[in-house]
Each structure stands twice: as structure tokens, then as C-alpha cells.
Chains A and B, each alone.
Chain A
């Protein structure tokens, strides 16, 4: 998905459930925004979402219940901070010796009868999987949740070769039916309430009597997806971890869709970033509880699956073929940077999204990438380049993200470093450069600053008294146009300072 506002590529293709994929409000709006740059579209989407009161209420409720569960979950640890540090150490060890661990992993998977494919780019990964599908005459593909497959646009590539792709995670299935991308990396449909989901299912499933009761909605989705699981020839999953010493992938799921996707079809393909590596199986003793706590507040995810190869002789079931697709797609370029290398420690728990005041207001779709929130704003500009650089400014730098990161990534400083690097690389508009030049001139010249301040106070007061706040004449227009006017101070700071000093004497 190149932008969050266009429909996911390929997902409009006819599948049993979205043959008449309806245009959501979002994609309808995006048509009118076709000519805008990514950054302009981001600003419009964000502004729109932040005043959407229904959205705000849904997210507030969702995040409130997460906050409670997360806080309670942390009390199960003797020392939460020690757990975070251990996880940081595990990931640091893996990333600092990534080549060695990848080779150890590869050797073990091959010894188990599996295949390992190294994909330098998205295209290469999609090509390999599409070729596999063609070779095995695959018609139906079931997918469990994987953000890497969103990143590389896998569903579209498979639909092009005639496959029907079913998202089987409930949240992913809901957004697929709506022809949207995931809203959140852990809970893809958290922007919808039960009524909206009920309407969607009643419409798509031809079950007009379905109620809005979550239990009933889940059962309806189960009935639909059940058929897909047993019809599918290929199952696609991501991986939460690649375990080097055991030569297996680890997948955490609650619903069990990940288990059916990887266990029932004839072929299992796991698509994953190279940075998901961990050295030892035993590392999961810390990582599993920490991931679950940070992701949902659970003590541990319901199913921690470990898959090392295809079905062995003597085993009752399992796929005949097991493929692991290791996706680089720009990740290795982060290794050379002292500062940025640790971004590869991310375990995609979503904690930084949940706590981020920006995410909570503008929502996941506004970011226009499968990785929204602070980690996305750090990572995506590095991986996808200039058209996402504006995301590094989508932060208040409050540091809340850093405070919750379970592998202690210094997220808000990375946002700052991104901004610095993009500015140094000259990716700044002439207007902005001019403004900063003016700002600098005023800042180093006290009398100029004094006169400038006086002039602004006078002229803005006049402007606002004429009701022109937020108009094109207002230098504070970006803020004032959608909000009540910023109140102007009666006196300058300099005047107040001087008065206080005089009193002091």
C-alpha cells in the first residue's frame, strides 16, 4: 500500500466476499486527493480524522481498555524494566551478528526439509511466492496476519496469478471486506465499532438477521473462514521471531487462524523481515510474555507456535512444503548507522502506537503505510524514502513511545535524527529555509527581535479583532484555521521579565 487512502492493490479483485467491494468514505475522499503529494494528503487525512468524534470515541474506549490491561500485565513481572532490558539484549545480540544467525537458521530449516528464499526486494519476494502458487496450481490462499506481506503488496501479486486470498485474522478479514488496509499492526479493525462491523457482515454475508453481538459476529466470520481454511492449497503467515538454534519460526496468535493457515494447506509460506531473528529458543521465555503484555496486556499469547519444517514422516498432518521468505527490502541499510541500527530490534508489539497522542488523534490510516505510529514514522521514511519523510514530523517528541518500548528503542530521538538527516540532505522547501533564516536573524539580534515581537503583537491583535484569524493573512493560519484562536499575551516576555526583576530589587 503506497498510501493509506488508496484501496489496497489487488484487494478489489473479485473474491467471494468482496466481489462488489464497496467504496468506503476514505477511498472516495482519496479520489479527490489524487493530485496531492503524500505529505499534503497526510495533513488532510489527519485533520479530518482528528475532528471525527465517532472515531475519537471508539479509539478512546479501545485504548482505555488496553491501558488497563497493559498496566495490570506489567504487575506480573518482578521487574518490568529488567524484562525490557533482557529483550533489548537478546535483540541486540541477534542484530549485531545478523549474518551468522541467519545462516544458522537457514542451515537448520534446510536440514528439516524446508526451503529458505532470500529476497532483496518486495518484487523478488512476491515473484517467488506467485511462482510457487502457479507451480502448484494454487487457487485459494489463506493468510494469517503479517505486516510484511502488506509492506510488499503480496495479496495483489497473488491475485494477479489468479489466486483468491483470504485474510483470516478477524480484524484483517474485516478490513479486507471493507477494502481497506489495516488500521493498527496488532488490532487491524480497532477503528470500527460493533455496529459498523455488524452492518458490514449483514451486507457481505447475506445474513440480514445477524445481531451486533461480538460473539455472534465472531461466529459468523468463523463459519465463512472455516470453508476457506479447508479449501486452501497454500497458507501464508508472517513470523514474530526466527529462532536460530532451533531453526524454526515462532508465531503468536490468539484466534487460532495462524495455526489453521500453517497446518491445514499443502504449502506453508512464512514471509518475514530478516530482523526478526533471535539466537535461542530459550529467549522466548522472556520475549513471549513481554510481547503479549506490550501487545494486548495478556500474560502470554494463546498460541505460541513453533514451526521448523514440513510434515515429517510419521506425523499425523502438516504441509508437504515449508518455505521461509526472508525479506530485506532496505532493512540491511540501517545496520551501518550507529544510531539507527537499534530500530531493527522492533518486535512489532504496537505499544508505541497505543500510547502515542498523535496516533490516538489521527488514527492509523492517516499515516498511509502498514506501519503507523512512532515506529512507522521512524522506519518507513528510512525504508521507503523521501515520500514518507514528513512522517518524522508527525510527533510531539513527548517520548511516551520510548517509555513503553519493550526493547527500549529510543524512538523519539530517532524521529529527531530523521528530521536532522533529511534537513541536512537538503530535503527542505525554499520557503521553510527562508523562514528559518529570518528566524535565526531575529534570534541573534535582540533589538530586531524586540521590534519584530512588538509588530507581531500589534498586527495580530488588529487582525484578530477584524475576525481574520485563520485567514490567509494570518501567519498562524495552519493552527488557527481549524481551532479557536491562540490567545495573544498582553505583554512580551521581555516586559514581564523586566517588571519581575524590578520588583525583586
Chain B
């Protein structure tokens, strides 16, 4: 390593400093309640999505989902769309009625000109109304580059809280198998001017979740 000198120096300083014993009080019980339990994940997810200014639609089958996605696409200005290259989305896109040019994530990064992106998710989190995506869900840009990001997910992917989602990510080694993951809780926003909320800062103005029953 190029700078092993500083590396050793910093580690040595840290170890030297840590020789000072600082008493550690007994930890809080693991059972301590920090967040109110999520009783009904579906109801909570709906409620939090609303609070996060996301668009959530529940569908019963692939046909209804395709129709829903087509509806969102038809409301957008002209331009190409960028879709995660996954067998399910390939299939779905065949039934989505659209005249737009489709670029697939297997063909490279999304272009700045993309009007919408469509991806799957790793999990949905009820507690915070979040969509958890990884690099395997079409990469990094897919969830941030276009003005509209559409997420397709199934109800079996819904977990009650962050602890469950992150615990499962650890067990699956998500961050060892992907260079990137992101907990997305709403559309891009800023309140840097007079603390006034403005949607659509650098990322999507719209985050739409199409949630299909089943798995």
C-alpha cells in the first residue's frame, strides 16, 4: 500500500489512545422498544408512501400492472425510457402499450435524456415507506437520473421495518455482491431555500410504485 506509513501511524495513535480505559455503562436491553411496532405492514406502507409523496398503486395481476405502467408513461413528455433488463420486465414491457424507445440496463448506463425508468426492488419497507434497491435492480442511475422512476414490486417483498430489511441484506451479503444499494423514501427533494420543500431537486420528481399481489 502506497501510504503504509500513515496507515501505521494512525493505527498506532488509535491503539495508544485506546489504552486509556473509559468505563462503559451496561448496554440497554436488546428488547428495548425504540419504534412502535408495525402492526399491519400493508396499511403502514400505504400511509408512509403517501407521507413521502410517492404514488402507490396496488394491482392484482401482471395485466393490471402493465396497464398501470402504460398509464404512467402516457402522462409523461415524449422521450425514451430505460428499463432494468430482467426477464419479468422484458415480459411485462411486451404488454405495455407504448411507442417510446426502450433502452435496457444491459446496454449500458441510462442517458440523461431518459424520461422515465422502470426497475424492480430488493424489498419494500413498511415502517418508512421505502423502496430498497441494489445495483442488481438495473444499476445506480436507474433510480435517480430520470424525472420519473417506476418501481415494480410484489406484496411478498414487503417487510415491516428497517431492522428486518437491513438484517436480511446482511444475511444475503447484499453489499458484498453489489457495489451499491439504496434505501429510497420518496422523490428527490430539497428545503435549502427558506426551509420550503421543493420536489424534484436533482433526482426524480415522481416515484411511482406498482405493487402487485402475490410473489
Contact = CB atoms under 8 A, between A and B. Distances in A.
Asked if A and B bind, the verdict is: yes
Interface string B134-167: 0110111111110000000000000001110111
A62 B194 contact: yes
A282 interface: yes
B182 A306 contact: yes
A122 interface: no
Interface in A277-316: 280-282, 284-286, 288-289, 296, 299-312, 315-316
B140 A318 contact: yes
B99 interface: no
Interface of B: 2-3, 6-7, 9-11, 13-22, 24, 27-28, 32-36, 48, 51-52, 84-85, 105-106, 108-110, 112, 128, 130, 135-136, 138-145, 161-163, 165-167, 169-170, 174-176, 178-196, 198, 200-204
Contact of A255 (B85, B112, B203): B203
25 contacts: A61-B194, A76-B36, A78-B34, A78-B36, A79-B34, A83-B35, A119-B6, A124-B3, A170-B190, A190-B192, A190-B195, A254-B190, A255-B189, A255-B203, A257-B201, A260-B144, A262-B140, A264-B109, A285-B161, A285-B162, A306-B182, A308-B175, A328-B10, A335-B18, A341-B17
Nearest to B138: A316
Nearest to B193: A214
B182 A304 contact: yes
Nearest to B186: A302
A285 B166 contact: yes
Contacts of B34: 77-79, 82-83, 86, 286
A436 B17 CA distance: 35
Contacts of B2: 117
Contacts of A296: 191
Interface in A335-393: 335-338, 341
A256 interface: yes
Nearest to A212: B193
Interface stretch (A244-252, A456-464, A472-480, A494-502): A244-252
A384 to B, nearest CB: 17
Interface of A: 58, 61-62, 65-66, 76-79, 82-83, 85-86, 89, 92, 96-99, 102-103, 108, 111-113, 117-120, 124, 128, 168-171, 174, 187-190, 192-194, 197, 214-215, 217-219, 222, 225-226, 229-230, 243, 245-248, 254-257, 259-260, 262-264, 274, 280-282, 284-286, 288-289, 296, 299-312, 315-318, 322, 326, 328, 332-338, 341
A443 B112 CA distance: 73
Nearest to A342: B22
A329 B180 CA distance: 28
B57 to A, nearest CB: 20
B167 A282 contact: yes
Given A245-B170, A316-B109, A99 B201 contact: no
A101 to B, nearest CB: 10
Contacts of A83: 34-35
Contacts of B130: 300
Which 8 A-B pairs rank lowest in CB-CB distance, beginning with the nearest? Answer: A335-B17, A256-B203, A316-B139, A317-B109, A255-B201, A263-B140, A304-B183, A256-B188
A301 B11 CA distance: 33
Contacts of A218: 190, 193, 198, 200-201
Given A171-B192, A247-B175, A254-B189, A300 B203 contact: no
Nearest to A222: B202
A112 B179 contact: yes
Contact of B192 (A189, A280, A286, A333): A189
B14 A77 contact: no
B9 to A, nearest CB: 5
B196 to A, nearest CB: 5
B215 to A, nearest CB: 24
A338 to B, nearest CB: 5
Contacts of B17: 332-336, 341
B95 to A, nearest CB: 23
A278 B35 CA distance: 20
A77 B21 CA distance: 33
Contacts of A308: 175-176, 178-180
B120 to A, nearest CB: 13
Contact of A118 (B7, B36, B138): B7
A317 B33 contact: no
Given A256-B201, A316-B142, A187 B195 contact: yes
Contacts of B191: 187, 254, 296
A20 to B, nearest CB: 23
B144 to A, nearest CB: 4
A96 B25 CA distance: 13
Contacts of A128: 3
Nearest to B15: A99
Nearest to B197: A214
Among B24, B36, B128, B180, max chain A CB count under 10 A is at B180
B28 A89 contact: yes
A474 to B, nearest CB: 41
A332 B8 CA distance: 13
Given A245-B170, A317-B139, A254 B201 contact: yes
